[in-house]
Amino acid sequence: MGKKEKNEKAKERREKRLQEIQLLRSIPYSHHQRWWSKETIAVVTGGNRGIGFEICRQLATHGLTVVLTSRDASAGAESIKVLQEDGFDVVYHQLDIVDDSSINQFVEWLQESYGGLDILVNNAGVNFNLGSDNSVENAYKVIKTNYYGIKNLTQVLIPLMKPSAVGARIVNTSSRLGRLNGRRNRISNVELRDQLSDLEVLSEELIDRTLSAFLQQVEDGSWTSGGWPQIYTDYSVSKLAVNAYTRLMARKLSERPEGQKIYINCYCPGWVKTALTGFAGNNTVEEGADTGVWLALLHDQTVMGSFFAERREINF
C-alpha cells in the first residue's frame, strides 16, 4: 500500500470515528451518569476563544458552573457576554498563568467565591508557528506558558480541589506532536526517550533538565542538530513536557485516600480550526473540545495519567 493510500485510509478511519463521537454526543447523560450539579465548579484556562471557549460552552450546557479565565480581561468579558446571553451559568475572572500575582489573586477569589473547584481544564497555551513555519524564536515563551504555566497553576489549585466520592478532575490539553514514541516528530535521543518513558525514573528534575537543555541549544543555535522534534519544535517540546508531567502527577495523586482522589489525564484535540493553527486545521472546535469535556465528566473514573484522542486512549 502506497503512502497516498495509507493517508486516505487514515482519513477514512478518523472521519468514521468523528461520526461515532457525534452520535455519542447526541445521547444525553443518564441520571446515573450525572455525578455533577450546578454546584460543581469547573475552571477553564484560556477560555476566551477557540477550544477553551467551546469547552466552557459544552460544560455549561451540561449544567455545571463554569469559571472562564483568560489573560486578556476585555476578551474574556466579551466571551462571557456571549455565553450568558445564551443562558449559560458562566462567570469570568482574569488569569494569566505565567504571572504569579495574577495566579494568587485568582486563587484567593476562587476560595472566597466557591470554596474551591471540582474540575480544572488546563487549556491555555501559545504557538507562534503557522503553516510550515518552524521558528524557535519564541521558544522561551512557549515553554514558560505551555508547560511551566500549567504546572505552577496546577500545584496551587490542587489544595483547593474539593473532596468527593467520584473524585476531582484535571484535564490537560496537549498534542500528539509531543508524543515520545510516535513514528514521526519524536526526539531522536533514545536514552532520553527511555528515561522520560520510565515512571521509576521520571521526575520534575528530569523534565526541567530536558527543557533547559533544549532552551540552551536554542540560545546557542545548535537545536537543529540536537535531535529535537522536526516540526513545530518548541510547541512539540512543550507538549512533551505536559505529557510527562501528567504521568508524573498521576503517580503522586494516586496515593491520595478515597474521597480525596484527583484524576489527571491529558488529551489531543486534533488539528483544529483555531487562531492557534492559523485556522488551517481539519477539525471543528466542537470536535476539538469533545474529548476534554468527556474526560472531565466521566462517571466511572478509573483512568489516571493517560493520554487520549477522540475518546480513545493513545500511546505517549
Active site residues: 235
What CA–CA distance (Å, rounded) separates 170 from 159?
13
Task: Please give the C-alpha separations between residue 217 and each of 7, 41, 212, in angstroms, as whole numbers.
Answer: 34, 42, 9
| Helix orientation angle between 285-297 and 50-61, rounded to the nearest 10 degrees | 50
Mapped onto helix, strand or coil, the DSSP state of residue 265 is: strand
DSSP line for 31-76:
TTT----TT-EEEESSTTSHHHHHHHHHHHHTT-EEEEEES-HHHH
What CA–CA distance (Å, rounded) separates 234 from 215?
9
Please give the backbone phi and psi of residue 100, each rounded to the nearest 5 degrees, phi first.
-60, -40
Q: Positive or negative CA dihedral for 82, 87, 91, 97?
A: negative
CA terminus-to-terminus distance, the chain = 26
| Helix orientation angle between 150-157 and 100-114, rounded to the nearest 10 degrees | 30
Side by side, which strands form the sheet with 307-309? 90-94, 65-70, 41-44, 119-122, 168-173, 262-268, 307-309, 312-314
Residues with Cβ < 8 Å from 314, sequence gap 6 or more? 176, 179, 268, 307, 308
For residue 168, the cross-strand partners are 262
